[in-house]
Structure 1
Amino acid sequence: MNKILLIGRMTKDPSIKQFENTGNNRCNFTIAVRKRTKNNNGENEADFISITVWGKTAENVAKYMKKGYLVGVSGRLQVRSYDDANGNKKYITEVVGEEVQFLESKKEAV
């Protein structure tokens, strides 16, 4: 089973791209997910998770969400690879979001 559930704040405004050959939309964004533990200085730490969503979900995220908004994301983990210009294999780990829930109203957002 490959299922991811995350709650975090958007670290920047989402970016959307439309693929003209298919008419499909892709939206990328990153959320900061707070860790339960604190660092040596007693400060909270976070993991920064890259999210990709497609289709109508991508349109809604791009239209209604922005930096600082609290969101819930469910989806699956994906690892892909490519060869860079020097022939080195690079790996990308990201969450492919299937559902994004807006967890606060605009008035509550940071």
Structure 2
Amino acid sequence: MTEVKSIEKPDDRRDFPMGHLEIVNMTGLVFGKATFEPGWRWTESVKDIAGTELCEVHHNGYVIQGRLRIRMRDGAEAEVDAGDVFVVEPGHDAWVVGDEPAVVLDFAGGIGDYAKA
């Protein structure tokens, strides 16, 4: 089997304050491309949509552009920058650092539930 789709023609697009998510659903893979504008923060832009205090989605990601700061429920923090590959467990907040949009590719199946009521 071969399956090919373009993120330029996503199966779903979810808009939220200061950003959006484009999703492609494939056999065995939910692929997302998220764009976060400067000033975006999960607890301010997505929290009310998700209905949880922190992001409860697991992320396997790659940063194409920009920088994000991530704070886990236990207070541990990390920063991811363009070119970084990362794994983040559920229970975190995240925000854009600097004046450049952050663009992130996400390969975790949980991204299909991101920014969804």
TM-score, L = length of structure 2: 0.30
TM-score, L = length of structure 1: 0.31
Find the structure with the greater CA-based Rg: 1
